[in-house]
Structure 1
Amino acid sequence: MFPSRARRALRAGAVLAVAALTASACSVGSIGSGSDSSGSGTTTITYLTGNDQTNVAFQTALIDGFMKANPDIKINLETQPGGTEGDNLTKTKLSTGEMDDVFNYNDGSLFQALNPDNTLTPLGDQPWVSQLTDQFKATVSTSKGLYGAPLGSSQAGAVLYNKKVYSQLGLSVPKDWATLMSNSEKIKAAGKTAIIQTYGTDWTAQLFVLGDYGNVAAQQPDFATLYTENKVHYSDQPALQGFLNQQNAHQAGLFNKNYASATYDDGIKMLATGMGAQYPMLTGAVSALQANYPDDVNDIGVFPLPAQKASDTKLTVWQPNALYIPKTTTGAKLDAAKKFVAWVNGTEGCAVQSEKSPPSGPYVISSCKLPSDAPTLVKDLQPYFDSKDFVSALEFSSPIKGPSLPNITVQVGSGISTAAQGAKLYDEDVKKQAQQLGLPGWS
């Protein structure tokens, strides 16, 4: 997958561009007494989320909106650190029966690690479930039930491109890798950087590999299962191709000259100003574009990292986090918690989400619509969702993601290692993590 450390290394990379992280766990608002009531006729519940300042502001807006619409329910917001520390705290609170009444957490493989059938309240009977995409349902479900509701939008790992540059050079969106390379040569000939790379921020180097997963799954639909069972590897095709693409782009001289030291912020600037034309990146970068280049943000579009064959090209999507209710929430508190989860994914809650946390991709529930003023690159993703022409990133299907991938992809993208060497190094890195997780077939 790509959490544990790595899922956040990529997902958090885009977030860190706009969010200042607080140093330690904190609590926002007064703490409830633990009883169902706080005052006559009022039910009080607690809601746990991450402690970065941008997230706290977003969650506070949701709570305020909900309490205004539901004056008989009070929600106290509590926070905890993210990363591995947050994972461990979440598991501990669930196992000891001390989890808050509602909590915000990852889905996919990290969700599965929570032992959801024993720790979480099933939500499959809730009315909003019918409005979820099948792909999101899969990330919050076990064979015994569905446990989570989405919070926020999706994002994609794809190629952000400058539409003005494409128009000036008469280029069309590539459907296969050969066309991307042809476009890139024309961009290079025009004196611009064809493919932006920013290894001064090492997590950004991973996109060639991780953003290619949709294409891998298109060719080998059971790849995630076989990968988790140690039966397929990145040193073999089709997974090797992502490393090969990065190697070939470097050898063709398509990167900016300062790729080794350039940072994520440098990459965003190059893309927005047209100094560079294409940037393999998460669409969460839209927040940085909006904040720093508001006059240029709608010049940026997005397309999937192309496969070798156009028929195999699929968009790779990162699903949003989810809201969960632990089994320890009961009685009036359970009713209030379910009401809050439903409100967040209803018309009013969706409006707050779009206003306070602008989407970086389509929503995964039909009750939430992209706002009419959403940036172009976000709107560009909607057709892939409408046609279901996308695949959830590997982290949502497999718990395995080695922590050294940023360093390995920097080496491949710099010509220090070949694609084959990098893939082999990554297979070794992954083996160590799988053994630490105690997965069968990796001894």
Structure 2
Amino acid sequence: MRIGTRSTALAVFAAGTLILSACSAGSLGSSDEGGSGSVSITYLTTNQDQDVKEAEQLAKDFTAKNPGITVKVETRPGGTEGDNIIKTRLSTGDMVDVFNYNTGSLFQAIAPPKNLLPIDDQPYIGDLDENFKKTVTADGKVYGAPVGGFMGGAVLYSIPVYTKLGLKVPTTWSEFMANNAKIKASGDGVAPVIQTYGETWTSQLFVLGDFHNVSAAEPDFADKYTKNEAKYATSPAAVKGFEHTQQVHDLGYENKDFASAKLPDGLKMLATGKGAHYPILSGVVANMIATYPDAAKTVGLFALPGDDAAKNGLTLWTPGGLYIPTTTTGDKLEAAKKFLAFVASPDGCKSQSTAGAPTGPYAVKGCELPADVPQAIKDMQPYLDKPGASSLALEFLSPVKGPSLEQITVEVGSGIRKAKDGAARYDEDVKKQAQQLGLAGW
């Protein structure tokens, strides 16, 4: 359930291993030391098309502002294969000058104090979003600059359906369910809630996207969860995600083909107004717009509602991080620092927007979303602008997570297993991993 960079995010969320392909280099300057500039550095990113496009655009725009530095883009596979490459190259001292990698628990797993250079002394650190900085901090020091935008675990909704029925964006679960009741009673044949269990990872959002509401009700849940002092099944706030998943099924609010439908089917239903709500990651918006351009204006986004409207907010998955290994020295180190400073600036954000529509707001102050960004992405910004209206997903606050959540939430959302039983199963599912990590209390 980890999240990677822009285009790998959804595949990594699905816990699948990404396709391995040969490494390739960007044609942005000589790959030899010196080249067309006085210094050449190498930037390692994943081999997914959008990530490569973004990296090459950043390198091109950076070099235009820093003609004495050329940037070579190198690629690696994503998923587990890519994780192993990163760890191996760091341990053997064979890492490139700058590399793109995960934030949160996977960042902690590469031993930042040993393998990475801290960047606390860089002037742009004060401009980084606090939520992001938490995910690239180890032993009190910041090691990474953000690349890409935030993603939200939220509800995408059909604006035309809301307009026709006179519905308002809900800020509590009871309001959300009242909207679902009106949609079902309208007789239009619109599915109130789209579920696509044919791709099991999509079943998790009522649980994972609800974590802002969990932490608002129980601020110390993540810490206690890590110490085995709190459980999903026994936490009044955390169990609600499972209860909501069951409730939507029990009241018949799902699309009839929920068991077999897949992500493209869900996006089609939403974009064409055949479904009203789709609990999902905002990263799918770009895929939807590519196929259904009108959805840029007809699909909006709101945070998963909880019990308290005053505390309702958006659960965030942070952008990827750019890191400098300890093996980068001399002129290359100075060039690498300049590259990170460029990426973590309004100019860097503009460069990334040129490469493709952002998945969400950037984690850098002063960075604005393009005027033509899809409405669903625009809808995320107010949550980040309002203090306390956004917070990190649990995976960025605790290393404890299990592999079977998506199967469990499919069972709960299909009426096969009750919510409390599903929560208890997941509590048992995480135990093995926590023990493998050697966490105290397990």
TM over 0.5, shorter chain: yes
Aligned match of 1:109: 105
Gaps of 5+ in 2: none
Rounded Cα–Cα distance in structure 1 between residues aligned with 2:175 and 2:417: 25
Could you give the per-residue CA deviations for residues 42-92 of structure 1, whole angstroms, max 9, x where no partner exists? 111111111112211221121122222222112222111111221122122
Of the three residues 27, 37, 51, the one matched with 2:24 is 27
Aligned match of 1:429: 429
Rounded Cα–Cα distance in structure 2 between residues aligned with 1:319 and 1:114: 18
Rounded Cα–Cα distance in structure 2 between residues aligned with 1:12 and 1:151: 13
Percent of aligned pairs sharing the same letter: 53
Aligned match of 1:12: 9
What amino acid does structure 1 have at the position aligned with 2:43? Answer: Y
For the Cα contact (< 8 Å) 2:184–2:191, is it kept in 1? Answer: yes
Gaps of 5+ in 1: none
SS in 1 for 2:368: coil
Shift of 1:39: 4.5
Structure 2 counterparts to residues 334-349 of structure 1, below 5 A = 334-349=333-348
Aligned match of 2:316: 317
* Alignment of 1:180 onto 2:176: yes
Change (3 A) 1:324 1:51: same
SS in 2 for 1:253: coil
Rounded Cα–Cα distance in structure 1 between residues aligned with 2:34 and 2:162: 60
Change (3 A) 1:133 1:31: closer
Aligned pair count?
A: 435
Change (3 A) 1:76 1:7: closer
SS in 2 for 1:27: coil
For the Cα contact (< 8 Å) 2:31–2:72, is it kept in 1? Answer: no
Shift of 1:410: 0.5
Structure 2 counterparts to residues 326-365 of structure 1, below 5 A = 326-365=325-364
TM-score relative to the length of structure 1: 0.93
Aligned match of 1:199: 197
Moved more, 206-215 or 110-119: 110-119
Rounded Cα–Cα distance in structure 1 between residues aligned with 2:350 and 2:37: 28
Shift of 1:437: 2.0
Could you give the per-residue CA deviations for residues 252-304 of structure 1, whole angstroms, max 9, x where no partner exists? 00000000001100100111111110000111121012101112321111111
Moved more, 349-358 or 239-248: 349-358
Rounded Cα–Cα distance in structure 1 between residues aligned with 2:375 and 2:48: 27
Of the three residues 220, 225, 228, the one matched with 2:226 is 228
Rounded Cα–Cα distance in structure 2 between residues aligned with 1:173 and 1:14: 29
For the Cα contact (< 8 Å) 2:41–2:332, is it kept in 1? Answer: yes
Aligned match of 1:146: 142
Shift of 1:312: 3.6
Shift of 1:412: 0.4
Structure 2 counterparts to residues 37-436 of structure 1, below 5 A = 37-39=33-35, 42-190=38-186, 191-236=189-234, 237-388=236-387, 389-436=389-436
Change (3 A) 1:52 1:11: closer
Rounded Cα–Cα distance in structure 2 between residues aligned with 1:311 and 1:347: 32
Shift of 1:308: 2.1
Structural RMSD (CA): 2.3
What amino acid does structure 2 have at the position aligned with 1:332? Answer: D
For the Cα contact (< 8 Å) 2:43–2:99, is it kept in 1? Answer: yes
For the Cα contact (< 8 Å) 1:93–1:99, is it kept in 2? Answer: yes
Could you give the per-residue CA deviations for residues 174-211 of structure 1, whole angstroms, max 9, x where no partner exists? 11111111100100112310000000111100001000
